[in-house]
Each structure stands twice: as C-alpha cells, then as structure tokens.
Amino acid sequence: MAQILALRPEMAPLPEAVELAASVLFAALEQTLALAQAARLFATAAADNDNPALHWPHR
C-alpha cells in the first residue's frame, strides 16, 4: 500500500474510506443478526407456549 501511495498520494484517503465502509457494513450485519435472533426467539416462544397471542400475524 505504501508503494501505491508513493506513486499516487491522492489515494491516501481511500484506506480510511474503505475502513469506514467496512465498519458501517459490519454494524449493519450485527443488527441484522440481532434481529434474526430476536425473531427466532419469538417464534420459539410462540411454538413452545402454544399461546395464540404470540403467533404472528395476530388476527
């Protein structure tokens, strides 16, 4: 990377932008996994308790 920056110093902000993008994508992935876990727990509780109020969609 240092060799690239020596030839093209205007590319210096690129690694910071890539790091920021990776951080944002990782945070989004964490949130998606957390939502999936919550949905799984909800579905498990609904199936285990056999409570109609827990089944989705509620009608």
5-57 residue pLDDT tens: 566 666 667 778 888 889 999 999 999 999 999 999 888 876 766 666 666 66
Residue 26 has what pLDDT? 93
Q: Answer yes or no: is pLDDT of 1 > 60.
A: no
What gap in Å lies between CA 53 and CA 44, rounded to an integer? 13
Q: How far apart are the first and last CA of the chain?
A: 59
Residue 25 has what pLDDT? 93
Q: Is the pTM of this model over 0.85?
A: no
List CB contacts of 55: < 8 A, sequence separation 6 or more: 46
